[in-house]
């Protein structure tokens, strides 16, 4: 999609007239809605909305939109944001030694399939420096011997590069609670298991020992509770008794790549709205 668009996302207590009020506001100013999605969560009675609006159909930019829309938002008690497709999200990638997820993201970025900026890659090993720098992306090695200092440096780099989203692309370290709180809703992980099954280390070994017939991968937001954040995307592949742990790891790599890419794309396109520990994903 090359058309210049604004994306408006809203969450608020459910009541009558929300869609009419928001659509009426856009129409009142000549706005052209090109995509719209809605959902009411039965458990919380909250309403969720996502609209894409042609930027050239409005007589003003985002600052004035925000100023004018704030009055309507206050009336309905909305949590809301609006983003500009012309401003690419800045994605900082964390990685260890395994490169399959990083390789896939960089391929999609270079091809234009993933419309983001990648200002840097950070790793606790130096192995992938040459590969990353070949793409023209700065690479930072952070030694993890002193974990407090290491995570402080990661946070500093993320903010120095003005990152919007931090992606753990098989980064084999557990983020400290303070970092999870500081960047809540902005850190995405790929876990090599169909959560909530087999959290923590070596999930394929755990799955093999349990004799499961499906293995999978999960893209989720990172929270203080290990591998328990709101799930963005998942997928599975069928296995059988003849598959070894090594086979499962090999199958899993393909799932991990596609699940992370889909989950990240949903996130940067503002298609994911969090509802407690669940997500509403407008695909």
Which residues are catalytic, by number? 227
Going by C-alpha positions, the residue among 22, 79, 36 that lies closest to residue 275 is: 79
In degrees and rounded to multiples of 5, residue 137 shows phi and psi of: -110, 130
Query: Cβ(29)–Cβ(35) under 8 Å?
Result: no
Cβ neighbours of residue 257 under 8 Å, at least 6 residues apart? 100, 101, 104
Q: What is the DSSP string of 114-180?
A: S-EE---EEESSSTTHHHHHHTT--EEE---SSHHHHHHHHHHHHHHTT-SEEEESS--SPPPHHHH
Closest CA to 1 of 229, 197, 268, 234: 268
Residue 259 and residue 234 in contact, taking contact as beta carbons nearer than 8 Å: yes
CA distance 140 to 120: 7
Q: Are 50 and 282 in contact (CB under 8 A)?
A: yes
Look at residues 4, 106, 124, 9 and name the one whose alpha carbon lies nearest to residue 55.
4
Nearest to 10 by CA among 84, 70, 89, 58: 70
């Amino acid at each position: 999609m090359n058309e210049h668009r604004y994306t408006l996302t809203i969450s608020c207590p459910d009541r009558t007239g929300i869609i009419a009020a928001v659509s009426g506001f856009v129409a009142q100013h000549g706005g052209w809605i090109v995509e719209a999605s809605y959902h009411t969560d039965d458990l919380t009675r909250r309403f969720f909305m996502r609209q894409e609006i042609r930027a050239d159909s409005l007589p003003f930019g985002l600052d004035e939109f925000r100023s004018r829309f704030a009055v309507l938002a206050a009336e309905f008690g909305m949590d809301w944001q609006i983003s500009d497709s012309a401003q690419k999200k800045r994605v900082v990638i964390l990685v260890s030694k395994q490169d399959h997820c990083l390789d896939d993201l960089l391929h999609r970025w270079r091809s234009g399939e993933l419309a983001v900026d990648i200002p840097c890659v950070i790793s606790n090993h130096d192995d992938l420096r040459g590969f990353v720098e070949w793409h023209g992306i700065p690479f930072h090695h952070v030694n993890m011997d002193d974990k407090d200092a290491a995570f402080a440096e990661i946070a500093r780099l993320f903010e120095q590069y003005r990152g919007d989203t931090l992606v753990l692309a098989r980064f084999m370290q557990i983020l400290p609670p303070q970092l999870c709180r500081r960047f809540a809703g902005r850190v995405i992980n790929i876990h090599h298991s169909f959560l909530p099954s087999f959290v923590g280390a070596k999930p394929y070994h755990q799955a093999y020992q349990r004799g499961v017939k499906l293995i999978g991968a999960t893209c989720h937001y990172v929270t203080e509770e290990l591998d328990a954040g709101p799930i963005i995307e998942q997928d599975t592949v069928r296995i059988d008794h003849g598959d070894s742990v090594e086979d499962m790891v090999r199958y899993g790599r393909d799932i991990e790549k596609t699940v992370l890419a889909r989950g990240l794309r949903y996130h940067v396109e503002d298609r994911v709205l969090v509802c407690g520990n669940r997500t509403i994903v407008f695909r």
